């Protein structure tokens, strides 16, 4: 009985990451995406989030966050990167805010998925781990491709 109480108490201490909900988070495809995300990303454990159709890995202030249901980007001159993996290729539009926060948004998928890497992560890890999200993101059909 004590072991159950201690385990329950430890679960209550787990951090919850605040992630803004996307406009189309209620899209059923987003549920499929979030259910398919990996338990670990770039060595960071998955942690709880406080909003629908989101996921996070790391700790408060230094977490990689994922939001499904963001507005799909229109064709753009921003960098578009095709990221291959065993789960298939995913096209991402990649932007940097100039302060070492990198944002990846899927291209050609509706709903779109956004992944943000804060400076605490982007300066200590490569962004190549976005390929680990391909299996989850591929739950949304791709209808357009990077050129």
pLDDT at 1 over 50: no
pLDDT at 146: 87
Please give the pLDDT value at position 13: 67
Residues 6+ positions from 64 with CB-CB distance below 8 Å: 41, 42, 44, 56, 57, 58, 115, 116, 117, 118, 121
What's residue 27's pLDDT? 98
Residue burial 91-115, b: 16+ Cβ < 10 Å; e: rest: bbbbeeeeeeebbbbbbbbbbbbbb
Output phi, psi for 89, to 5 deg.
Answer: -95, 140
> Does residue 14 carry a pLDDT above 80?
no
Q: How far is CA 75 from the centre of its chain?
A: 21
Q: What is the pLDDT of residues 31-72, one digit of tens each?
A: 999 999 999 998 999 999 999 999 999 999 899 999 999 999
Q: Tell me the mean pLDDT in the region 107-132.
A: 87
Quick one: pLDDT at residue 7? Answer: 44
């Amino acid at each position: 009985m004590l072991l159950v109480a201690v385990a329950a108490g430890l679960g209550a201490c787990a951090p919850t990451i605040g992630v803004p909900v996307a406009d189309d988070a209620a899209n059923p495809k987003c549920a499929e995406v979030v259910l398919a995300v990996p338990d670990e990303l770039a060595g960071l454990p998955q942690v709880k989030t406080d909003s629908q159709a989101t996921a996070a890995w790391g700790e408060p202030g230094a977490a990689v966050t994922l939001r499904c249901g963001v507005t799909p980007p229109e064709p753009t001159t921003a960098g578009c990167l095709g990221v291959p993996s065993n789960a298939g290729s995913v096209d991402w539009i990649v932007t940097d805010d100039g302060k070492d926060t990198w944002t990846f948004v899927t291209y050609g998928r509706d709903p779109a998925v956004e992944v943000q890497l804060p400076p605490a992560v982007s300066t200590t890890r490569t962004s190549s781990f976005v390929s680990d999200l391909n299996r989850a993101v591929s739950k949304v059909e791709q209808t357009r491709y990077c050129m």
